[in-house]
Amino acid sequence: MKHASIRIKLIFSFVVLTMFMTTLSVTSVIIVNNLNHTNDNLYNHPYIVTNAIKDIELDIRELQIIMNKVIDIEQNENLETNITRVRELESDIDAKIDILNNQYLGDMVDVQNLEEKYNISKSNREQVISYVRNNQYVLAVNFLSNHQPDSKNDIFVTSLVISNFAEDKAVEFREEVESEAYKYMFIVISVATTMVLITVVGVYFLNRDIYPPIRQIIKTIISQRNDEDYYELPIERNDEIGQVATAMNDMFIYLKNTQELRELEYKLEKAKSRELLNITLHSIGEAVLTTDTDGVIDDINPSALKFLDLEREVAIGNNIDEILILQDSRTKERLANGHIIAIEKGRQFQPAMQVSLITRTGIEYNIAPTFSPIKDDSGKIFGVVIIFRDVTKEIERQKEIKFLSEHDVLTKLKNRWSLETKLLSLQDNKIQNVGIIMGDVNGLKITNDAFGHSFGDKLLVDISNILVEATKDVISNVYRWGGDEFVIVLEKVTINDLDHLCNVIKEKSKTGEKTGPVRTNISLGYSMLKSKDENLYRTLIRAEDMMYENKLLEKDSNRSQIVSSLESSLFEKSCETKDHALRVARYAELMGKKLLLSQNELTHVILLAKLHDIGKISIDDAILNKGEKLNEEEWTAVRKHPETGYRIASSLNELTAIADGILNHHENFDGSGYPRGIKGENIPLIARIVAVADAYDVMTSVRPYKNKISKEKAIKELIKSKGKQFDPKLVDLLIEELL
């Protein structure tokens, strides 16, 4: 038949092709197996043998050189190293001989001779090494000379014989391969000729009966896809291609009839999606608007209108680029609107950088925008929904958190973590001419104890301001290292610059504000980075060591200054005067001498008489100088001054001895006093002495809240309070002195 069944043609071609492939596969297997076998014999065997022999020769030559070093007495200090190398070479030669045995040469007389001679020379080397270890170098030299291998039958000659044998084998294998290669070449040419013939026959049938109708079918399908006018396939055949053409014609008719229906359904689905989207965006609190694929706004919710300060009529129909003006928050560069990117990618897009929105009225907001394509059920994009929210407060909060993580909350200086980061940065970048100043605030503890931590905080802030002011003209960073310690890191400075800065800081401290009784004062130390490779923490430690040395040298001066300041502050703050203190000290000294106290004890009594009310410096001036009766709250504040004074005295070595006296000078002999309510001789003696002396002087002096009384009335009051408020024996001693 003119149009014979394609199935028969295909079956015939398949059978021929299968026979061809089977023949080719069997031939290929035979060729590969023979070539692999030949390659193994031709290349692996001779080359491995030759290389092994050459390696053995090189190792034996090196052995002779090393053995000459072993018997050389001048090389004695390297003896063990040379012997170790001998062992390594022997181990390597043993391995190479094993290779020869594994390459089918083990039964050769020459290989056996090589191995035997090598073992003899190995034994001789052991004997030489034994002589050398026993310092018998002469015997070692003679033995080595008498046991050198024979020049005609030595190891090298034997190895040469084996090497020649291996090369002969290589030539023999090569000839064998060339012989077989001609056979394989004939087979390959025959197979290739058969393949060409089959290909020519197959191409002829395909071009005549298969390709023309297939091309016609493809052309028709492309025409339908491009919405060209419908027409039938002009193919009339009784084979399978004719059946395919008929089925395609029927399918084209069906598609043509249903095309308008599909378009209508698409429009309905799009309308439903748009309506659902509108309901959703108008019901959420976020700012939302939608655009078509050209970026024209077709809907916007009330939240977005309020955020953008727009009327709906102004927004609808405008291009998104005119409404949403976006820029990089850091660089202030204008950003391309994300709706285009969302359409191109076919998925949600969110800018990676911080984005600022500039409204039409010029207001700038930090926003987090999201652009998402709107798709129908078929996946076709017909618009973009844009959601954005104001993140200005979030960004400010992030900045605040970052600031707090890097700065000290109290002084606003950079903190210890920032310092360590800075030191690592300077270290990594090999920055030179780096100096470090470390400072420790003096008097912080006593300020906290006397006035509370709010005054201590103020002292730290005052010091930090002094440090910043003093270093404003140099490249520097001031850090609060922790507690009462500060660190200054300076760049491009010299050791003289550091010394000068420390002097400037000291001078500014002297003229700074007083916090309570304590003037700003700081002990300083400094150090320079010695080299770019030195660890900066070592520089920091040197500065810290110097600071502590200076603090120790200034210790007495600082403490004396604090004690004087305390005394002056007490007299300035309350009605306590210097004259009152001196009178109380005189009365107390009189009683102390009557009691035969030692000079050291008398000194403590006099010091307590002057500073027993030191705790009052923490009490508000208005309470201390109030001219009428104190209320309960005010009285509670006054009753705390013994404890405050105790904490102050305990923090100063000069006042430690009178700390207990300060704490207990308002305790009564019958236990009715404060703060602890102890009685009798449980109250320290110096506290009991000062209590009597202070009470007498207060009664005979003018105070804001009372008039003075006569000496006689005061003595009567003391007698009246014997055994109750005062120690009876001490009252009698004072009265005796007064009368």
Greatest mean pLDDT among 101-110, 160-169, 519-528, 704-713 lies in 519-528
| Rounded mean pLDDT, 196-212 | 68
Confidence of residue 232 (pLDDT cuts 50, 70, 90): low
Does a structural domain hold residue 505? yes
Residues 475 and 492: their CA atoms lie apart, in Å, by: 7
Question: What does pLDDT average to over the chain?
Answer: 78
Domain assignment present for 566: yes
Question: What does the pLDDT read at residue 150?
Answer: 43
Contact 443/518 with Cβ under 8 angstroms? Answer: yes
Query: Are 528 and 498 contacting, i.e. CB atoms less than 8 angstroms apart?
Result: yes
Asked whether residue 124 is domain-assigned, the answer is yes
Domain count, the chain: 4
Indicate if the pLDDT at residue 437 is higher than 90.
Answer: yes
Q: Residue 358 is part of which domain span?
A: 282-397
Q: What percent of the chain has pLDDT over 90?
A: 23
DSSP β-ladder status, 325-328 and 476-482? unpaired
549 and 630, same domain (yes or no): no
Which of the listed residues 365, 397, 429 is the one where a domain comes to its end? 397
Q: What is the pLDDT of residue 461?
A: 93
Q: Is residue 464 part of a domain?
A: yes
Residues 171 and 41 placed together within one structural domain of the fold: yes
What's the rounded mean pLDDT across residues 480-509? 92
Q: How wide is the angle at C-alpha 328 spanned by C-alphas 324 and 330, nearest 5°?
A: 145
Closest CA to 308 of 284, 329, 324: 324
Percent of the chain predicted with pLDDT > 70: 69
Burial of 610: CB neighbours in 10 Å, binned 0-12, 13-18, 19+: buried
Which has the minimum average pLDDT: 7-16, 140-149, 372-381?
7-16
- Predicted local distance difference test score (pLDDT) of residue 466: 93
pLDDT band for position 169 (cuts 50, 70, 90)? low
Better pLDDT: 359 or 386: 386
Q: Hey, what are 165's tokens?
A: 């044998």
pLDDT-derived band at 234 (thresholds 50, 70, 90) equals: low
pLDDT reading at 65 higher than 80? yes
442 DSSP 8-state letter: S
State yes or no: pLDDT of 372 exceeds 60: yes
Q: Report pLDDT for 15.
A: 61
- pLDDT of residue 574 exceeding 70: no
Tokens 């010394």 map to which residue? 499
Strands 514-515 and 518-519: antiparallel
Q: How far apart are CA 49 and CA 268, in angstroms?
A: 85
Burial status of residue 363 (CB atoms within 10 A of its CB: 0-12, 13-18, 19 or more)? exposed
What's the mean pLDDT in 613-639?
A: 84
Instruction: Assess whether pLDDT exceeds 60 at residue 736.
Output: yes
Asked if pLDDT for residue 106 goes beyond 70, the answer is: no
Is residue 729 very low, low, confident or very high in pLDDT (cuts 50, 70, 90)?
Answer: very high
Q: Are residues 580 and 717 in the same domain?
A: yes
Q: Between 63 and 560, whose confidence is greater?
A: 63
Q: Are 643 and 609 members of one domain?
A: yes
**Which tokens go with 667?**
């305790």
Do 30 and 167 lie in a common domain?
yes
315: CATH? 3.30.450.20
Q: Is residue 516 part of a domain?
A: yes
Is residue 223 domain-resident?
A: no
In a domain? residue 90 = yes
Q: Among the three residues 336, 362, 397, which one is the final residue of a domain in this structure?
A: 397
- Residue 151 is predicted with a pLDDT of 40
Counting Cα atoms < 13 Å in the Cβ hemisphere of 81 gives 5
- H-assigned helices in 511-577: 536-553, 555-573
Confidence of residue 587 (pLDDT cuts 50, 70, 90): very high
Based on the fold, state whether residues 678 and 598 are members of the same structural domain. Answer: yes
Q: Which amino acid is at 98?
A: D
Give the confidence band of 153 by pLDDT, cuts at 50, 70, 90. very low
- Same structural domain, 573 and 679: yes
Compute the distance between CA of residue 363 and CA of residue 357 in angstroms, rounded to an integer. Answer: 8
Does residue 722 register a pLDDT over 70?
yes
Residue 171: is its pLDDT beyond 70?
no
pLDDT tens profile 652-679:
777 889 999 999 999 999 999 999 999 9
Q: Are 490 and 377 in a shared domain?
A: no
Quickly state the pLDDT bin for 467 (edges 50, 70, 90): very high
CATH number of the domain encompassing residue 459: 3.30.70.270
- Which residues are bridge partners to 371 per DSSP? 349, 386
> Does residue 580 share a domain with residue 541?
no
Tens digits of residue pLDDT in 393-415: 888 888 888 888 899 999 999 99
Residues 334 and 368 in one domain: yes
Give 663-699 as a 3 state SS string: HHCCCCCCCCCCCCCCCHHHCCHHHHHHHHHHHHHHH
Mean pLDDT score, 604-623: 86
* Residue 247 covered by a domain: no
* CB-based contact 730:624 (threshold 8 Å): no
pLDDT of residue 155: 54
Listed ranges 11-15, 39-43, 161-165, 241-245; the one with the highest mean pLDDT: 241-245
0.85 surpassed by pTM:
no
> Mean pLDDT lowest for which of 161-175, 291-305, 429-443, 640-654?
161-175
Residues 182 and 327 in one domain: no
Mean pLDDT of 361-375: 83
For residues 427 and 547, state if they share a domain: yes
Looking at the DSSP bridge assignments, the partners of residue 381 are 375
Cα 482 to Cα 406, 409, 599: the distances in Å are: 13, 12, 43
* Nearest-angstrom CA–CA distance, 714 and 726: 13
The pLDDT score that the predictor gives to residue 24 is 60
Q: What is the mean pLDDT of residues 520-528?
A: 91
Question: Distance from CA of residue 147 to its chain's centroid?
Answer: 69
Residue 227 bridge partners (DSSP):
none
Average pLDDT over residues 43-63: 71
- Among candidate residues 158, 176, 191, the one where a domain is terminated: 191
Find all residues with CB under 8 Å of 514, minimum gap 6, and list them.
520, 565
Selection from 47-51, 330-334, 450-454, 524-528 with the highest mean pLDDT: 524-528
CATH number of the domain within which 715 lies: 1.10.3210.10
